[in-house]
Structure 1
Amino acid sequence: MPPNGYAWWYVDGISDDGKRAVSVIGFIGSVFSPWYAWSGRRNPANHVCLNVATYGPGGRFTMTDRGTNALRQTPDSLVIGPSAMHWRDGVWVIDINEVSSPPLISRVQGQIRLTPSALTGVELALTPDGAHIWRPFGPTSTIEVDLDTPGWRWQGHGYFDANFGTRALEQDFERWTWGRYPLGGGSTCFYDATRLDGSTLAAAVYFDAQGHGEVIEPHPKARVARSLWGVARGTRADAGYRPKQVKAMLDAPFYARSAVRTCLDGEETVGAHEALDLKRFRNPVLKPMLAIRVPRRARWRFD
């Protein structure tokens, strides 16, 4: 992977009752790590982490930046320190053994199992030169969460994708929003972005349960209320419908993740949504703030 490069593998899930949610991201070249930025992004493999965030009663956030000695990879697995993501008989299994960030410092342990209805062959370039790629592996999935915390054993609908890039996100983007919504036995994903050169991305893809992807005409843009930090948010919806956040998840000065209810082709649906403001992220004042939430453990080694 070149300097400034990155790769991440992302899983999210929302419980059937809508009361709990989870997101897990395995990073090589951790794009939101201040330590990677301060290093000049010379060596992505020296800044790896497994970010785990649980939303609901007893929710926690973990994002420890580790060095090259904490990384092991095979074609079917990603091991980062004491945690791992790997394929097992068609299931993407995530074994978690992390410590949450301040102020609620505690161990986060357990397993998450994500089962895609099918794997897709879809790949989308987010910039014309292909410097940033979105790869939705399992947009229609089920998820089983089993963590060593009371109340954190549940099932729901899930999602699995990856992003790869050869430049820092803030070199090419001003902002973006993304959303994935269960729909019609499959799922629909929207990716809207404004690039630094003023060009835009407006992608909409429907995936059926067999993993076939179909590029569709995006539904009309619809505003979602700003996050607590004032991050601008929007998604897609039928004309005249006002989408609404139904569950707050991650709220940061430059980033917001939430569960959003929208209506697509007459069907109401709740899915995961994110809004990323890279203009804010470029502000150097944010980096020391992030360092509190993203501790560095450069010397971690396998026993």
Structure 2
Amino acid sequence: MTGLTLHNTGERLTEYALLMRLHRPIGILLLAWPMYWALWIAGAGAPDLRVLLVFTVGAVVMRSAGCVINDYADRDFDPHVRRTTARPIATGKVSPGEALWVFGALVVLAFALVLLLNPLTIALAFVAVGLAAGYPFLKRYTSLPQVGLGTAFGWAVPMAFAAQTGAVPPIAWLVFLAAVIWAVVYDTMYAMVDREDDLKIGVKSTAILFGRADRAIIGLLQALMLVNLVLVGRQAELGLFYYLGLAVAAGLSLYQQWLIRDRDPVRCFTAFLNNNWYGLAVFAGLVLDYL
């Protein structure tokens, strides 16, 4: 009986891990890179170790919570989209009620982590939870849910500055803006994968909104983000290595444009994944410059 119970518990935990997308860490990385940019700038290349650890664990927890509430919100859509039919709620392996319990537990854990930080960061954390909980429902009402995702992911930036410095200076909002623009870029590539299914079930996205202008608008946003990051570099008085990192990032943007040129779903997904290297290039430039 004990063995059976342990087996059942293991199965439940496995399904919860799948629900949180722990087997697909790309979302954690895309959330974490702007957060790390912010921590390194706020800490002048030497962020506080406790703050760094709290934010690293927090990124995993909050991205997991976002995935859970997203699948709860999409529980009636996912069975009809080819890419999402195997998700735990869509297959019935996790009930919607269970998903809400998992989401609640993750939010409590995230809040326990943020209590280790200063009052301003704690106050900003309440906004973060609201953004994470609200984002998945935007695709029903607006064609710009990618902006909502960018705001939710990017909110880690002002929180990072607040935790490191006790304030949210103007440069923090420049980095935040870069994070929002970047999310619109990579999540539009992601939405291009599901465009046909989303049109059938009535889900909205920037990929549908942009239509045949999708590549051009993504390109404009990529250029705007690069300009924004140059402004960040100038305001933070960064040097050669940072701009070399931006040069690599610009090259990756061109590669992503090449990947999405035919709007092939597989290549669009590859372009989406490639944004991890974009975030790493900017971060590597920052680290080397401060060193």
Do Structure 1 and Structure 2 share a fold, with TM-score over 0.5?
Answer: no
Give the strand-richer structure, 1 or 2. 1
Give the helix-richer structure, 1 or 2. 2
Larger Rg: 2
Higher relative contact order, chain-length normalized (CA < 8 Å, sep 6+): 2
Report the TM-score, using the length of structure 2 for normalisation.
0.31
